Amino acid sequence: MATSAASRPSLTQKLRGLSGEVVKFGIVGLSGVVVNFVVFWVCINGLHLASLRSNIAATLIAIATNYLGYRYWLYRDRDAASRKREITLFLVFSGIGMLIETGVLGFSVYVLGLDSHFEQLGAKVAGLAVATVFRFVSYRTWVFTALPETEKEPAAGTGVELAAQAELMLAAEEIRYAKAE
């Protein structure tokens, strides 16, 4: 069914919604960075683990907390019908993001010779920025997919609107049951 121009959101409304999504994405991401650094510090200083093991543990815990934030806060209204697919894609794209960060840092240190602490920090921030853009686009596009749009309401009095409302109710119930599983 064709939709009228009045029923579609304006560009301003879309950008406003996207900016809210970017802010929430940033909040979840920053909380993941904090978790990463706290766990790393505890592993190094409290548990006396090697730095590589500490980094792996910290990154895995940060990825897990980020998934919870994205799934249950930022993208809670997105399709959750296939959790196995969602988690697999989340881990794949998180891993690619980690490779992007590490690649930028490795390139700056081993190719460009930028090996002071401040230069490495700058490379880490640059890699994190590139990886964050990649993660944002990939998570919202492929991992936490939007629910399919339903057809717009038909004209009143046609009798079809009751069927459309029933379909919406059934779809909502399916999502609720999928979340319970």
pLDDT tens digits for 148-163?
555 555 455 555 566 6
SS3 of residue 153 by DSSP: coil
Residue 116 and residue 34 in one domain:
no
Inter-residue long-range contacts of 152-156, CB under 8 Å, 24+ positions, other chains counted: 152/1, 152/3, 152/4, 152/7, 154/1
pLDDT tens digits for 47-96?
987 665 676 777 788 888 988 888 888 777 766 667 788 888 888 998 89
Domain that holds residue 127: 79-147+158-181
Say if residues 138 and 145 touch (Cβ distance below 8 Å): no
pLDDT at site 139: 83
Residue 50 and residue 121 in one domain:
no
Residue 90 and residue 175 in one domain:
yes
What is the radius of gyration, based on Cα positions, of the chain? 22
Q: Distance between CA 13 and CA 4 in Å, rounded? A: 16
121 assigned to some structural domain: yes
97 assigned to some structural domain: yes
5 assigned to some structural domain: no
- Overall size of the chain counted in residues: 181
- Asked if pLDDT for residue 125 goes beyond 70, the answer is yes
Residue 45 and residue 95 in one domain:
no
Residue 134 and residue 50 in one domain:
no
CA 10 to chain CA mean position, Å:
24
Compute the average pLDDT of residues 89-117: 84
14 assigned to some structural domain: no
pTM recorded for the entire structure? 0.57
Say if residues 87 and 98 touch (Cβ distance below 8 Å): no
pLDDT at site 127: 80
9 assigned to some structural domain: no
> Which of 25-34, 113-122, 125-134, 155-164 shows the lowest mean pLDDT across its residues?
155-164
Q: Distance between CA 39 and CA 36 in Å, rounded? A: 5
pLDDT at site 34: 87
